Chain A
Amino acid sequence: MKPIYLDYASTTPVDPRVVEKMQDCLTFDGDFGNAGSRSHSFGWKAEELVEEARLNVANLVSCDPREIIFTSGATESDNLAIKGAAYFYKNKGKHIVTSKIEHKAVLDTCRQLEKEGFEVTYLDVDENGSISPEIVKEALREDTTLVSLMHINNEIGVINDIEKIGEITRDKGILFHVDAAQSAGKIPINLDSSFIDLMSFSAHKIYGPKGIGALYIRRKPRVRLQALFHGGGQERGIRAGTLPTHQIVGLGESFRLAKEEIDSDFKKINSFKKRLYEGLKDMEEIYVNGDLENGYPGIFNLSFNYVEGESLIMALKNIAVSSGSACTSASLEPSYVLRALGRPDELAHSSIRFSFGRFTKEEDVDFTVDLVKTSVQQLREISPLWEMYLDGVDLSKIEWAS
């Protein structure tokens, strides 16, 4: 049996309709040309396809296609947006604001800038994981040039109020970058009517291929970035490198489909989350990480107290999910996102992220409910912490040897 895939926040399968479009841009019989070749029809055709894809991206998020440039993925987009803006505006100021629960692509980029002499403020989040606009406002200084925050958090699905935060940053003349890797195509984004200056996108989170992404760079008022790659002057000199036509076409088609299916996908995914929660909510000692009511339903994070996450994943062997447990990370540290919520470490160790998507079926959810219940029960049966809990022992009062 092929395991049930409930890890869409990690990556998604490419939609077969996207694959079909991509295949047409590879072989001699297809449109394999270089979009940079201005001297023949092979190049012109490739350029046409690239521009069509650019339009598809712009249409999904309501912006001008000239505001979209292609990158290798959201990580590169984050790097380009943050470093590019920090470097370009460094004479104006060297202070950046971000949060403690950003993706590593943002956090590590900020850490690098700190090494280079920039100052970074890492905002705290509230107990649901969201960043309040007031906290952002308080963190802004005279020398702040950029605020970088994510739209939907990849671990807990919390949604930030980027419209409200954009109003604050625009008012102060500070750039606002939003990492939308998890949100584009999942919930509505309207860049025309909001005050966002930079936005990162990824294709493989919405049924497109890996290795391709995009960055939105506002034209009015104009946002300038210092390029990180130099070469043939592609993408108006902001991101040099031959445009990978098939990848871009894949991204464009996945964004086009996302626009068409955003409502039906959301409805379906929301019903799966409700179904899963209904099935599990009566279990003893389970905790929702994130915002149960207002979070993005495609990312649902639960802690099963007194059961360690990696062992639970092992028991759920026919289901592909992920955990914030230290044992599943290379660093042996529990999830920094869950720790930032102020939860005790053991709840981070006990967490499982269920992530639904376009190809999830209702019976997958039912199967998951049954297996989770049985497996948690089995693991609690062998857990000394569960035994102590049943005995009425207060675990926080015990002095554990480390």
Chain B
Amino acid sequence: MAYSNKVVDKFEKTLKDPKAASVGRWKPGDADFDKVGTGIVGAPACGDVMKLQIKCDDIDGVKKIVDAKFKTYGCGSAIASSGQLIDMLKGKTLEEAKEICNQEIVDILELPPIKIHCSVLAEEAIKKAINDFESNDEIRKHNQ
């Protein structure tokens, strides 16, 4: 598979320094876990599983993504696509993040056509994570 240098770069940096590349997790019991939304997409049998977590905060009355973490099982471009998604997320409002489209990732990483599904997976991951956060938020509000 001939990948662009951008995919290779992203992949290698992620492996070399996972922390700097936002690899990680928030788990129940962690401080602020109630501010975290989690999206898991893909399946082991298909060779791709992406787990994305976003941490959101109210800033000036707007919900913003203040931090994000991921873990990905999959081919090099799936790992690079997750990292790329993280770069695009941080600092965005939830509304802005909802607008993220897989084609942006395809363009930035110059993904070959056979790997476009990796970017689709990334888009699904952020949609699911936002969804998770918002439904938890509903419950929180309801309980308050």
Contact = CB atoms under 8 A, between A and B. Distances in A.
Contacts of B8: 314
A382 B47 contact: no
Interface residues of B, number: 31
B45 A311 contact: no
Interface in A66-80: none
A314 B47 contact: no
Given A311-B79, A383-B72, A326 B15 contact: no
A117 B142 CA distance: 68
Contacts of A1: none
A105 interface: no
Interface string A368-402: 00000001001101111111000000010000111
A346 B76 contact: no
Contacts of A315: 15
B114 to A, nearest CB: 7
A191 interface: no
Nearest to B23: A382
A384 B23 contact: no
A259 to B, nearest CB: 38
B14 A325 contact: no
B120 interface: no
A307 interface: yes
Main secondary structure on A side of the interface with B? helix
A197 interface: no
Contacts of A378: 15, 18
A180 B135 CA distance: 60
A307 B78 CA distance: 12
B46 A402 contact: yes
A382 B18 CA distance: 7
B71 A325 contact: no
Interface string B33-56: 000000011111111111100000
Contacts of B70: 382
Contact of B71 (A311, A328, A346, A384): A384
Contacts of A379: 15
Contact of A345 (B14, B44, B50): B44
B76 A381 contact: no
Interface residues of A, number: 31
A325 B15 CA distance: 20
A385 B73 contact: yes
B108 interface: no
B47 A325 contact: yes
Interface in B61-87: 70-76, 78-79
Nearest to A386: B73
A224 to B, nearest CB: 45
Contacts of A207: none
B73 A306 contact: yes
Contacts of A306: 73
Interface string B1-36: 101000010010011001000010100000000000
Given A308-B48, A382-B15, A325 B75 contact: yes
Interface string A13-45: 000000000000000000000000000000000
Contacts of B49: 383-385, 400
Nearest to A325: B47
B44 A311 contact: no
A395 B49 CA distance: 12
Contacts of B76: 310-311, 314
B44 to A, nearest CB: 4
A284 to B, nearest CB: 16
Contacts of B41: 401
Given A327-B1, A383-B71, A332 B48 contact: no
Interface in A304-360: 306-308, 310-311, 314-315, 325-328, 332, 334, 344-346, 349
Contacts of A381: 18, 23
A384 B40 contact: yes
B15 A395 contact: no
Which of B25, B45, B46, B79: most chain A CB closer than 10 A?
B45
B73 A310 contact: no
A400 B71 contact: no
A384 B72 contact: yes
A328 B1 contact: yes
20 contacts: A308-B48, A310-B75, A311-B74, A311-B79, A314-B8, A315-B15, A325-B75, A326-B46, A326-B47, A328-B1, A334-B47, A344-B44, A344-B45, A375-B15, A379-B15, A382-B15, A382-B70, A383-B73, A400-B42, A402-B43
Q: Which 7 pairs between the two chains have the least Cβ-Cβ distance?
A: A400-B43, A327-B75, A384-B51, A345-B45, A310-B75, A346-B44, A384-B71
Interface of A: 306-308, 310-311, 314-315, 325-328, 332, 334, 344-346, 349, 375, 378-379, 381-387, 395, 400-402
Interface of B: 1, 3, 8, 11, 14-15, 18, 23, 25, 40-51, 70-76, 78-79, 114
